Amino acid sequence: MEQIDENLKSSQSFSETTVKRIALFPGTFDPFTIGHESLVKRGLSLMDQIVVAIGVNESKKSYFSLEKRKRMIQELYANNPRIKVESYHILTTDFAKEIGANYILRGIRSVNDFEYEKSIADMNRTISQIETFVLFTEPSLTHISSTLVRELMQYGHDVSDFIPKGIKL
């Protein structure tokens, strides 16, 4: 018991120098959905900070401009200093290192997502030693994807049930 008490005392100085847990949450977020919002909220229970990182893929045609997507997410989290919003044009692991993120946050809706995310997580760990942690999508949100929301918008449907309340499209 004395050993445990001694360890607790010494851990106080350790906690003062503990590395900040920063997770990069990469995606195109075209648009940012309530599924993304749920992952950020749940990720904050595990991390000190989350950087929502909008990856730019020149080969993909976006519905919203990069500037609009970034602004929408920044406005949503304007009052939360633990959430930052950035964009990047480089390899995700290189960007994670550039901003000091030691984790990558990903969400999984289905078995298909799992296979894809596992392959990427394994490669990322191999080339950068950055760990990926995965949160399973809440069951009530598994049908929501940016692709489906974009399709609804293209046909003039109301998508307000699928977009966070603070986002103005």
> Which residues belong to the active site?
36, 60, 109, 146
* Residues 32, 134: Cα–Cα separation, whole Å: 18
Using an 8 Å Cβ cutoff, are 35 and 137 in contact? yes
Q: Is the peptide bond before 139 cis (omega within 30 degrees of 0)?
A: no
Q: Which residues in the chain belong to E strands, given as ranges?
A: 22-27, 49-55, 83-88, 103-108, 131-136
φ/ψ bin of 29: left (φ > 0), alpha (ψ from -120 to 50), beta (otherwise): left
Residue 19's contacts (CB-CB under 8 Å, 6 or more residues apart) are 102
